[in-house]
Structure 1
């Protein structure tokens, strides 16, 4: 609520851009369209109690407020985080009074899952007799967080995280309200959307933070990251020799120069380096630079680490030397390391896409009715033990992160992957 001395431009951008009608809500057409459940309710002129389940910033509070306006119900907001039994009693008494004079009440309960089971039961008589139309909002799975009695008297509606089209609409509205474009090129806009991860409120807060920047320079994805994220702290320059020697050891091993690697480890030990630090870095090398080319490398690393901890210095240092020789002479592959990095990049770009419905478990009746687990094929029941189903999120193209090399054990792994790829293609 604005005050007498508050200017409109002093309010947060997310508040100024809050939709004034349901047709301005973005990203939830599956609920608000004419064929959607809320669209049908409004078309029939009768709103029933509902639970809005969705991620943060997808419009749950806004939809509840606009539903109240559209149906001419008194809007009564309540937060389960800050409210107790006494607050609920006051709300229900006031709703009874309004009902007596012909005025209905839409009771919006944010974070409804925060109420315990007994408090949830307290809603039941007032929902049943029409004292209130309950609209609960939650980011948690109602099957696990709300009791069965309340679920049986409400309809659960699933809201979606805001997709690219919805975020495009928000940024267009923001730029129109601000009166100027944001200093972002195409890649910068895409990176801004990725940072939002489907959260419209956070997205508008990012836009507001960028709105005060000068029109030049125009930021790409890297420039945007510098503006909205802090730089990582620098290394301690006083120990540069420490990092130089461990780098020399690591790169000598990567280059399969076992003798040079032994020399650099000896230099580190002679300089007073903690042998357990060396053991840790050698274990990292085993998984980063050898990986599945020799799956035994990480076993050898852990064994040497354990031996040193048991024997101590100087006897335990021989175990580290033996490990350096093993790692230096092993076949090398960073395929697993690169696969993980690629998967992390993809995860950050795609945000919170949900798994396809057929691979979701459905432990409750409501989840089964929503389509959880429908169409799943149990791979062990197939003749070749392989169903070939899609396990990536819907709307995301299949990715190949792991590309094994033609060295060591990974040559055999590559044959297995090729076999499954042929089966997947055949099953279509």
Structure 2
């Protein structure tokens, strides 16, 4: 066999990837997850007690989910079994459960690690329940997706969910130091390029080590600057799933930044979504909603401009049309805010559902026939244009329903003038006994 390796120019012990060689050997060596693995962390306490509960590890790629599961089994003295929901089916699950049952009969506990557990369908997820309940396996599932969306409630109720954080700059920097120690040489980067490399990893430790290995392999004679680093390494696509949680998190961040009157943050989230490949018309729809819901009558033109920006993008497409969305985002974020119409609409809808059988008062009903006139339709109607100050103050609510106040203007922007008018009309209504 050795001759075959030599003939191919290989050795039987070809080196493994840098990320694999630097895989932590104890939980204490895992970086960036001290909130879970430290002495006071939930998982750290389990390891110390050597008694594990089933759990779901939820976090971005490259944050140590697989490593933590493997080391947790080692620390607690459990047998480690690994399956991937991408490659495993019902037969693989049955085999794993049978083996775990046999180990349990022999007094050995089993930690079953399921990578990408959210890819199992609902029926497959239900298949775990009896084995988790009986303690035949301690389940550790790993997912990059929000478990509350992707996993059965029954399975979630039997597992603790632990959130892993994307690795921060300190954690990533410590990984680079370990990589350099393992290689016995420094990365061929100047200070700015080194900082750019950490930013390029975007919180993913495994990806950072893959990039570092590429740089070690090129063997540059002189340190690379940021421009040269960019020529060697390709920009990573942003982690953004348009049909999953990232989609909803970022559009929520954009909307709330607008509501919070922060145009800079709103522009940032807009660009994050556009750079991630989001459909600009999806963004435009949310911006139209924000114009109606959060700006409202404080700046009535906001809704007009929102529709204009949508039409502009529809006409120009990308990238030119994206400027119209950026202009709209700034306008909405910088505009005076009022949700008074939104609040009034919800209150009025509630009242309408509670009193949906009440008829309008007779004096505001049309009377196109003599019978309707004889019944009093339209009798006593006051034509507001002929009333003093153009306001009659008549009651327009149904008979049997007291007057309600749904709309309470905030008094900012254009709505300040509306508030003044409504206050004056309320005064006239009271004075005229209406």
Match of 1:196 in 2: 201
Match of 1:103 in 2: 108
What is the correspondence of 1:8-407 to structure 2 with a 5 Å cutoff? 10-229=15-234
TM-score by length of 1: 0.54
Distance 1:71 1:335, change over 3 A: closer
Give 3-state SS (helix, strand or coil) of 1:81's partner: coil
8 Å Cα contact 2:48-2:76 kept in structure 1: no
Give 3-state SS (helix, strand or coil) of 1:52's partner: strand
Give 3-state SS (helix, strand or coil) of 2:80's partner: strand
8 Å Cα contact 1:55-1:159 kept in structure 2: yes
Distance 1:382 1:182, change over 3 A: farther
Unaligned runs of 5+ in 1: 231-291, 307-332, 341-379, 387-428
Say how many residue pairs are matched: 255
Distance 1:181 1:92, change over 3 A: same
Task: Give the Cα separation in 2 of the matches to 1:94 and 1:221.
Answer: 52
8 Å Cα contact 1:107-1:133 kept in structure 2: yes
Deviation beyond 4 Å, 4+ runs, structure 1: 333-337, 380-386
Task: Give the Cα separation in 2 of the matches to 1:65 and 1:80.
Answer: 17
8 Å Cα contact 1:182-1:215 kept in structure 2: no
Unaligned runs of 5+ in 2: 236-300, 316-322, 331-406, 414-434
Task: Give the Cα separation in 2 of the matches to 1:381 and 1:128.
Answer: 54
Task: Give the Cα separation in 2 of the matches to 1:157 and 1:335.
Answer: 37
Corresponding position: 1:7 with 2:2: no
8 Å Cα contact 1:50-1:157 kept in structure 2: yes
8 Å Cα contact 2:50-2:77 kept in structure 1: no
Give 3-state SS (helix, strand or coil) of 2:57's partner: strand
1:118 positional shift: 1.0
Of stretches 57-66 and 42-51 in structure 1, the one that deviates more from structure 2 is 42-51
8 Å Cα contact 2:103-2:110 kept in structure 1: yes
1:160-215 C-alpha deviation (Å, 9 max, x unpaired): 11110110111000001111001111111111011111111111110000002335
1:27-49 C-alpha deviation (Å, 9 max, x unpaired): 10000011111012123231100
1:65-117 C-alpha deviation (Å, 9 max, x unpaired): 00111111111000011111111111000001000111110000000011111
Distance 1:5 1:223, change over 3 A: closer
1:114-170 C-alpha deviation (Å, 9 max, x unpaired): 111111111111111110000000000000110111101000000011110110111
1:381 positional shift: 10
8 Å Cα contact 2:85-2:117 kept in structure 1: yes
8 Å Cα contact 1:107-1:135 kept in structure 2: yes
TM-score by length of 2: 0.53
Give 3-state SS (helix, strand or coil) of 2:136's partner: coil
Task: Give the Cα separation in 2 of the matches to 1:110 and 1:32.
Answer: 20
